Amino acid sequence: MAPADALRRIAFLLERAREPTYRVAAFRTAAHVVGGLSDAELDRRIATRTLTDLKGIGAKTAAVVVQAHAGEEPDYLADLVAQHPPVELEGAAGELRRALRGDLHTHSEWSDGGSPIREMALAAMGIGHEYLALTDHSPRLTVANGLTAERLARQLDVVAELNEELAPFRILTGIECDINADGSLDQTDELLARVDVVVASVHSDLRAPASQMTPRMLAAVENPHTDVLGHCTGRLLVERTQRGGKSQKPRPESAFDAEAVFRACVEHGTAVEINSRPERLDPPSRLLQLAADLGCEFAIDTDAHAPGQLDWQGAGCERAAAAGITADRVVNTRTAEELLA
């Protein structure tokens, strides 16, 4: 394993174990620094014991680099794997998890994620995914550095280049598009038609009455560009930190006519997202069961903002299994070609 890959793997495992952000960032930063060195420079730094002279390399990360460069498994990585072995899901939840081929809701450093697109893709490959939908935020969500039409167009070109490099793995182009107050989507029709996956989500006026929220969501679900209805209630179960360090308090579910919205999802072929983020777990169990009973299709997503979070789908699989949702009703159990068709 190359030193930079070993450092990224450690960052992934720390993130999956929900270790402090600063610890994850230390290994990710070190991976970036080491990845920029030539083989000759890396050899020289190791031979002269000057790795730690580089900004972003400390004693622990330097030890990982030295061992990985020598072809050994770094002790830090081995200890981490032993301390935090992957949780193997059993029964119907395990079957669902094994059937998943990708994730349809993820973010990169282009909006409010913390990692480059390539690192997100490599992490997805590392956990066995065949594809990853990149769904950075739309422009209205300025707090999340939402993508203007111009930035999204540039991102499509970047993804095309990465897909040539990473094939047969595929990054699906996409966007998490704000649902405006009138139910329209926060991006041009031309760009929405170009991307592979559109996740439509409400991020504003979440305490609006059901008389306003229901038609707003219905309009978005009925929009021919919408593929997935994201975190439908908008609830937050625990406090979280947003981009820039701003704290966001827990919030209750938005009020809307869930039966009407889910029936519209069935009618218009819009998948209901089972959001696996631990602070969301959206929709709540009673609404997830309602959507299942009404015949909805689903997307089990992580809403990942960093590579290690891509392994959070297990929580969504457990919740889906509890509601009796089988793999044939989960759209991201399909191949990329089937999904896009």
Which tens digits make up the pLDDT trace of 138-191?
Answer: 999 988 899 999 999 999 999 999 999 999 999 999 999 999 999 999 999 999
**Exposed/middle/buried for residue 329 (C-beta within 10 Å: 0-12, 13-18, 19+):** middle
**Looking at residue 63, what is its pLDDT?**
96
Q: How far is CA 145 from CA 141, 197, 244, 279, 322, in A?
A: 7, 19, 10, 21, 36
Q: What share of the chain is helix, strand, coil (3-state, %, to 5)?
A: 50, 15, 35
Q: Which of 208, 215, 228, 246 is nearest to 102 (CA)?
A: 228
Q: Which of 159, 162, 154, 113 is nearest to 136 (CA)?
A: 113
Q: What pTM, to 2 d.p., does this model score? A: 0.84
Band (pLDDT 50/70/90 cuts) for residue 318 is very high
- What value does the mean pLDDT of the chain take? 94
What residues contact residue 104 under an 8 Å CB cut-off, 6+ apart? 133, 135, 172, 174, 197, 199, 227, 228, 271, 273, 299, 301, 331, 332
Q: Do β-strands 197-201 and 228-229 pair in parallel, antiparallel, or remain unpaired?
A: parallel
Taking each helix axis as running N to C, give the angle between helix 117-126 and helix 149-166, from 0 to 180 degrees, rounded to the nearest 10.
40
Q: Which of 239, 242, 77 is nearest to 143 (CA)?
A: 242
305, two tokens? 């903002």
**Looking at residue 204, what is its pLDDT?**
94
Q: Write the pLDDT tens digit of every residue in 32-63.
A: 899 999 999 999 999 999 999 999 999 999 99
Residue with tokens 């006026």: 205
Residue with tokens 């219905």: 218
Residue 97 CA to residue 314 CA, distance in Å, equals: 6
pLDDT at 239 over 90: no
**Looking at residue 16, what is its pLDDT?**
79
Q: Write the pLDDT tens digit of every residue in 198-207.
A: 999 999 999 9
**Looking at residue 21, what is its pLDDT?**
79
pLDDT at 273 over 80: yes
**Looking at residue 244, what is its pLDDT?**
59
Residue 72 CA to residue 85 CA, distance in Å, equals: 20
pLDDT at 330 over 70: yes
Residue 166 CA to residue 207 CA, distance in Å, equals: 43
**Looking at residue 240, what is its pLDDT?**
63
